[in-house]
Structure 1
Amino acid sequence: MSADALDLLDPILVHHIVNSLGWRSLRPLQQEAMEPVLAGQDAVLLAPTAGGKTEAAVLPLLTRAQRQGWKGTSILYVTPLKALLNNLHPRLETYTGWVGRTAELWHGDVTATRRRRILAQRPDLLLTTPESLEAMLVSVNVDHRAFFSGLHSVIVDEVHAFAGDDRGWHLLAVLERLQKVVGRPVQRIGLSATVGNPRQLLDWLQGSGRGRRPGRVVAPGVTLPEPDSGDPSVSLPEGRPVTPPPGDVELDYVGSVANAATVIAALHRGEKRLVFCESRRTVEELGEQLRLRGVTTFLSHASLSADERRRAEAAFAEARDCVIVSTSTLELGIDVGDLDRVIQIDAPPTVASFLQRLGRTGRRPGTTRNCLFLALDDAGLLSAASLLLAWSRGWVEPVVPPPDPRHLVAQQILALCLQERRVGENLWQEWWGGLNPFGTAAEPVVRHLVEQGYLERDGGTLFIGPEAERRFGQRHFMDLTASFTAPPEFTVLSGRTEIGRTDPDLLTEEVEGPRKLLLAGRSWLVTYIDWRRRRCFVEPTDEGGRAKWSGFGPERVRSRALTRAARDVLLGSDPPVALTRRAMARLAMAREAHLDVVHPGGTLIIRDGDGDVRWWTWAGHRANATLAASLSPVTIPHRRVDDRFIALRDDLTPQAWRAALADARAGLTLPEVDIRAVRGLKFAEALPERLAEATLAARLADEAGARAVLAEDVRFVVRP
């Protein structure tokens, strides 16, 4: 035990750390985080899953609360998932109880009675989500100024999960408004597993306080890039010899969900296994196949009811010799007990996601982290191999906030007017402290909101207008507090028990014979559909059910780094992990099939015998979308963008290519936007159409990747 670090903590906490927890030492992160957290600095604390991040933030904050006599709700603990809050609450309730303080939950599933008790007796630590936090700010039932008057610190768990999408902008904006309500700087502490750009993540988390408040990245054992290096990611130079990171990782090819179930049922018997899938449909199909093979199986994904997920996770945590099959819902820090194995079907979307999943194993002394990849097809095998190759090189994606969140600017201005009832038309920017993009760049959005009746202007103030009432006023403006849109689904019930939700397409498409659904790993016979209330009543049946969720969220696209890693695999680079004979044979077949479209010296333009012309850039989806728009005279309009190539006109001539290339090098063009995608952008209706399209276009682009490709050599090939 480090006496120096322990001496900094409250003596009562030290007593319980030694005697109640039985810890013989603090972990490296907990020791190194002590000084900056106690000093009130902003911080990002980095450690693998189960690295003690929660204690590294909470224990020194409880020490500050004791020494400085904090009163009321002084610490907020924010996570992206209600399930994670529920999982953390008993632990944090224990820690706060040691020093005579309290911890409470506040999210959408908390009852009205419990909320009234929380408002009457403010807890010292409140666990919540950004959406619930904003709901408190706009609610007529919450005196937010009084409730948050004692706030000093905010902990943002899984901060990387926020920063990479619009929920991050929403969180930052809400924190700025909350800080304005409190009337003093609020310490911000982010907790994360490994990310590629931790210094930039800290800058992002600090918001308007960047450069005005001290901040520190705490990451024991991680070599960080220099602050002004200009390199946003942690990576090793291309071609440098590497040693595989620690962990027992294997890649296999199985060819189908049924074969994956056979492998999982046969391997690692007597162990507790967590299987990650990349879609809810695969979770359901694999769960059913495992149960047919006699494996004790539990399921977890977002379309299962909360009760169904809790029952599965609780039963799995207590059981042995079983499998839980999940989407990314169990990727974050929810505790499902002591795991023996992690199995990945195909490949996760990012290296960072893989690191989260790998970190679920190897927690017991004497065990190692492990992951078995099972590829269902050739595309899944190549994706897994390329991700593992990038991982072996020490590369992790930088977490980059999506640019130009104008739709969330509109949402935040409306939410602020709900919160304050009236806001000075020249004072609204002060609520975000100069945070981009909520400053002067937001003025066109405010003008549009007034012109379209979302806001009214009177006596120098802005307030909610009739159009906002019509669009968002249902259920006390609840729809205004969520920064993303969930697709419409039907609730599935067996008697009075909610099983989960299903896609309406499964209930409307023509079928022969009885209509059957696959949900919670079991088949159900549809007995009645209540179309008005969007409910579907079922009863258990034999196998034969189908699972489907279409959704309309952002399409998953591969980055330039992972697409280039795939090219490296096809050129002969094997990831330094265990490859089964099946995986090696299928990789050899993939290399043979792609022999003509990869070249180590640059990119290829290939005209085949049918006259099709493709530029094989291997640049990733966003770079290719940018290139296709910038080279419009020689590309095929409205053609779907591929990660690997760009379709060119069949009448392409060398002269036309050189001219288009020169124009693109002189200035890139943002990708064109499908109007259907604009409709899927929440709050886009509160923006001028041109700004909504510009927002999406900026998010579809990768200008740096496009410029890198334009600088490479190009070879022209004609196939017979």
Structure 2
Amino acid sequence: MSGIDDLDPALVHHIVNTLGWSALRPLQQAAIEPLLAGEDAILLAPTAAGKTEAASFPLLSAMAAQRWTGTSVLYVCPLKALLNNLLPRLETYTAWLGRTAALWHGDVTTTRRRRILTERPDVLLTTPESLESMLVSANVDHTAFFSGLRAVVIDEVHAFAGDDRGWHLLAVLERLQRVVDRPVQRVGLSATIGNPEELLRWLQGSGAGSRPARVVAPRPEQPPPAPAPGPPPGDIQLDYVGSADNAATVIAALHRGEKRLVFCESRKLVEELGEKLRARGVTTFLSHASLSVDQRRRAEEAFAEARDCVIVSTSTLELGIDVGDLDRVIQIDAPTTVASFLQRLGRTGRRPGTLRNCLFLALDDGGLTGAAAVLLQWSRGWVEPVVAPPEPRHIVAQQLLALCLQEHRVGDRLWQEWWNGLGPFGRGAEPVVRYLVREGFLEQDGGQLFVGPEAERRFGHRHFMRLTAVFTAPPQFTVLHGRNEIGRTDPDLLTEEIEGPRRLLLAGRSWQVTYIDWQRRRCFVEPVDGGGKAKWTGAGHLRGTSFELTRAVREVLLGADPPVTLTGRASTRLTTVRDHYLPLVHPGGTVITRGTGGYPRWWTWAGYRANATLASTLAEVVVPGQRCDDVGIRLRDDLTPETWKRLVAGATDRLCLPDVDKRAVRGLKFAEALPPRLAHATLAHRLADLPAARTVLTEPVRFLHDVG
């Protein structure tokens, strides 16, 4: 059994004498053997369990023992801020062995990149998008640069696997393996996932089943003799405050002198709450994706050093960015997943003798029941499985174009070999290739594929930047005060009709617009006292609460309380909400109600995706054109129980994929490089929840009349 003595002696010396560690943590100890043996692995542990060291110490030891040369380890993260945060640690660890680490992403200067290309670091910290940019860049000899590659560490791997960035990452890793002509060890770091074995197989890509692999998730050395009843330990409270103003009042009054991290589910709410806290004299910092890099970095640095302060953030601070010694986490309304809650809860309780804590402040009834549902599922030990989105045909199209950009010419029968048989990039991608050739995105000549005029026209601007920037936000205007960038705002705020001066809310303060440069998408502002508005629109067409969490909401409405501290306000409000929904929930099935003067409504409590699937399957009795929600579906006014019984009979055997709005298809990145029917089918598969829809259709239905 490998242990700390199997690490490089110089590394062990510094672990003991420089870091002052008397022993490794359980995960760090358990990771040594499989990583030194070259196995693929998922290292699974809660936040602040030392996952970075668990991966880097064995790989650095292997680097020294096997005399790896050149850039032999890639450290991939989903966020540039996380990379910036990790760089000093990895520079320290590599320096102990006379090795180097460097950073490469979109904010790194051209001068620094040139130095990296001439003086290849042993460890390169980067993002998947930057890796792709290096592969297609005329300025990077990718064959020479990556020739020494041996291992890739993917931090926060669950953040990739659950969306299209995961497919993109896997495809780029397969191309890298072909460039270096050897298997590359893959190590994923994660916390809070419900299906680690499946995640590991996903991470292995084409190597799944042929390469040794294991999940490393050590248990505590001295577990309790039997599982303790009730939820996991932690100081968790649920309060109902009813508005953002009241939330600001509570936050300003509670835990003075402590460092508090407040999570919101939208940038707009971050801005509004930040402004309200500052108006109450609270030292407040903000963090979200539409703030400038400098604004976010200043906030993170100031927050790390301050004590009596609050930082208000979206999920940008959910991952492993270090914000110093945190005292409290406050959650406004409910996070979208239990996994997200666990990440946020894990920000606290790191000091000896302290408990992890989180205070939920519900702004409305939906926030209250949603928070209670998340806490109910958390108390049961349930966490969402990480599942890759199905049918990533648009990513296949993007990868085909990127490969031709990388290699200049690719054999029209050999392109599949670049992905080594990886699922969606195999023979099933041939219709996409034919479409790309037919529409001029690719040219075909002499048995070779190469970039065509349509790809040049649509993606060629600035050296094909749009092609390599796989995941972009909707177009926004850059907001500038003088020469200083504050952040970005939605163009709707600059075009909507208003009376009086146009004012924006950004970085927690109000700004008056003085000039708009429409061509360059810039907006110049000056500070003012109050009156600013915040707004961002995003691709919300695939959003919605899961079947499991929506059913947990139903349990809450039926009387289930999460085993946490509920304030008097929360308990009183829950009673009111339960009374209101009493006719609409039933523990043994679903309910169809017919109120006075309205459409019948089917209360499924099944989640957005399941309801979209059911609405398409039962289109004969569903009100057409409606926007589905998490809890129910509007039905036609002439519905009768007999019609319903006839239609539902056998419906589980003829489930239909949901209808997809044309605007949603236009919002799919690279949809223009797909045949329209395949772009539509891609979104339809992603919008569906067939298992949940099947479950709902097998449940009894109660018909109720005259429900107000």
Question: Shorter-chain-normalised TM-score: which range?
Answer: over 0.9
Conservation of the 8 A alpha-carbon contact between 1:404 and 1:698 = yes
Deviation at 1:241, TM superposition (A): 11
Distance in 1 (alpha carbons) for counterparts of 2:550 and 2:657 = 21
Amino acid at match of 1:667: R
Conservation of the 8 A alpha-carbon contact between 2:339 and 2:384 = yes
Whether 2:414 is the aligned partner of 1:427: answer yes
2:158 corresponds to which of 157, 160, 179: 160
Amino acid at match of 2:489: T
Aligned to 1:59: 57
Aligned to 2:113: 115
1:653-682 deviations in whole A, cap 9, x for unaligned? 233212211241222110011010000000
Amino acid at match of 2:562: P
Aligned to 1:474: 461
Distance in 2 (alpha carbons) for counterparts of 1:252 and 1:665 = 41
Distance in 2 (alpha carbons) for counterparts of 1:222 and 1:291 = 43
Aligned to 1:382: 369
Aligned to 2:641: 654
1:91-143 deviations in whole A, cap 9, x for unaligned? 00000000000000000111111111100010000000000000000001100
Deviation at 1:4, TM superposition (A): 5.8
Amino acid at match of 1:59: F
Aligned length: 702
Amino acid at match of 1:255: G
Aligned to 1:461: 448
Deviation at 1:543, TM superposition (A): 1.4
Aligned to 1:244: 231
1:264 corresponds to which of 251, 254, 264: 251
Distance in 2 (alpha carbons) for counterparts of 1:114 and 1:640 = 49
Amino acid at match of 2:23: S
Amino acid at match of 1:150: G
Conservation of the 8 A alpha-carbon contact between 2:40 and 2:185 = yes
Deviation at 1:242, TM superposition (A): 5.2
Distance in 2 (alpha carbons) for counterparts of 1:221 and 1:556 = 35
Amino acid at match of 2:353: G
Whether 2:577 is the aligned partner of 1:621: answer no
Conservation of the 8 A alpha-carbon contact between 2:259 and 2:309 = yes
2:433 alignment partner, SS class: helix
2:424 alignment partner, SS class: coil
1:602 corresponds to which of 568, 585, 589: 589
1:42-95 deviations in whole A, cap 9, x for unaligned? 000111111100000000000000000000000000001111000000000000
Distance in 2 (alpha carbons) for counterparts of 1:389 and 1:340 = 24
Conservation of the 8 A alpha-carbon contact between 2:133 and 2:468 = yes
Whether 2:170 is the aligned partner of 1:172: answer yes
Deviation at 1:633, TM superposition (A): 1.3
Amino acid at match of 1:659: R
Amino-acid identity (%): 75
Whether 2:292 is the aligned partner of 1:317: answer no
Aligned to 2:624: 637
Aligned to 1:232: none
Amino acid at match of 1:321: D
1:5-51 deviations in whole A, cap 9, x for unaligned? 21111111111111111112211111111111111000001111111
Distance in 2 (alpha carbons) for counterparts of 1:313 and 1:661 = 54
Q: Gaps spanning 5+ residues in structure 2: where?
A: 222-226
Aligned to 1:483: 470
Distance in 2 (alpha carbons) for counterparts of 1:17 and 1:487 = 46
Distance in 2 (alpha carbons) for counterparts of 1:653 and 1:529 = 57
Give runs of aligned pairs for residues 314-713 of structure 1, distance below 5 A.
314-713=301-700
TM-score (normalised: structure 2): 0.98
2:39 corresponds to which of 21, 38, 41: 41
Distance in 1 (alpha carbons) for counterparts of 2:663 and 2:454 = 22
Conservation of the 8 A alpha-carbon contact between 2:476 and 2:490 = yes
Amino acid at match of 1:356: Q
Amino acid at match of 2:490: D
Runs of 4+ in 1 over 4 A off after TM superposition: none
Whether 2:199 is the aligned partner of 1:201: answer yes
Conservation of the 8 A alpha-carbon contact between 1:242 and 1:393 = no
Please, what is the CA RMSD of the aligned residues? Answer: 1.4
Whether 2:292 is the aligned partner of 1:305: answer yes
Task: Identify the range of structure 1 (662-671 vs 336-345) with the bigger mean alpha-carbon deviation.
Answer: 662-671
Distance in 2 (alpha carbons) for counterparts of 1:672 and 1:513 = 42
1:322-351 deviations in whole A, cap 9, x for unaligned? 001100000010001010000001111100
Distance in 2 (alpha carbons) for counterparts of 1:345 and 1:623 = 26
Amino acid at match of 1:50: A
Deviation at 1:611, TM superposition (A): 4.9
1:294 alignment partner, SS class: coil
Aligned to 1:236: none
Aligned to 1:25: 23
Amino acid at match of 1:14: V
Give runs of aligned pairs for residues 67-86 of structure 1, distance below 5 A.
67-86=65-84
Amino acid at match of 1:8: D
Amino acid at match of 1:45: L
Deviation at 1:532, TM superposition (A): 1.4
1:344 alignment partner, SS class: strand
Whether 2:5 is the aligned partner of 1:10: answer no
Distance in 1 (alpha carbons) for counterparts of 2:219 and 2:614 = 39
Distance in 1 (alpha carbons) for counterparts of 2:643 and 2:42 = 50
Whether 2:133 is the aligned partner of 1:141: answer no
TM-score (normalised: structure 1): 0.96
Distance in 2 (alpha carbons) for counterparts of 1:670 and 1:222 = 45
1:283 corresponds to which of 266, 270, 273: 270
1:667-718 deviations in whole A, cap 9, x for unaligned? 2110011010000000000000000000000000000101111111222222
